[in-house]
Amino acid sequence: MTNKFIRAALALILLALLGACAEPARMTAMIAVPSDTGGRSPAPSYQQAIMVTRVAGGTETNALWMSKVGDAESKEALVQSLIANGLAATREGRFVLEAILMKLEQPYFGLDLKVTATIAYKLTDTSGGGVVYQNTLVTSGVATFSDAPIAVMRLKISNERAIRANLTKLIEELLALPDRPAAGRSA
């Protein structure tokens, strides 16, 4: 009787693990909101003036393997982070922002899963001012067994936290940029 119970329990656990397919990172979980970034306001020249032109380096999730972060989710999270913090242009922006996911370091197993995201950013002034900001930011996110008992879900949460931390750091640095009056205007 005990062997049958153990086999049945193991079979249920195995089915639960097989049923847990990898999901891509959720864009909404990666947005850097003002409460993350200290609620500061941008310098006047950056207010609603940044347009995202290119986001690259992401990888689409294979449901049978590991959760990843795709370009579409990354770009939308970046755009929404800029909007939430008063930086996104409503139309053509004076500044264009590019982001390249250089590396997403993920563990293959473990109880506490730590993901490290390395993203290179470049902000260019389209009015002839050249590169205004350029930096590669490295951040991490951790999910524990208490966040999700299934490893593929923990990995997705870790991905989201690593990207959110990276976007938060970016927004903090953009909010700290000094005002940059347009060429031909006095400060």
Q: What is the pLDDT of residues 128-183, one digit of tens each?
A: 879 999 999 999 999 999 888 877 888 889 999 999 999 999 999 999 999 988 76
Q: Which residue has the tokens 């153990």?
A: 6
Q: Residue 54's beta-bridge partner residues?
A: 98
Identify the CA nearest to 100 among candidates 168, 166, 33: 166
Whether pTM > 0.85 for this model: the answer is no
* Domains detected in the chain: 22-175 (3.30.160.150)
pLDDT tens for 27-85 read 788 889 988 888 788 999 999 999 999 988 776 655 544 666 777 898 999 999 999 99
Q: Which pLDDT does position 123 carry in this prediction?
A: 97
Q: Rounded CA gap, 175 and 32, in Å?
A: 12
Q: Which pLDDT does position 186 carry in this prediction?
A: 45
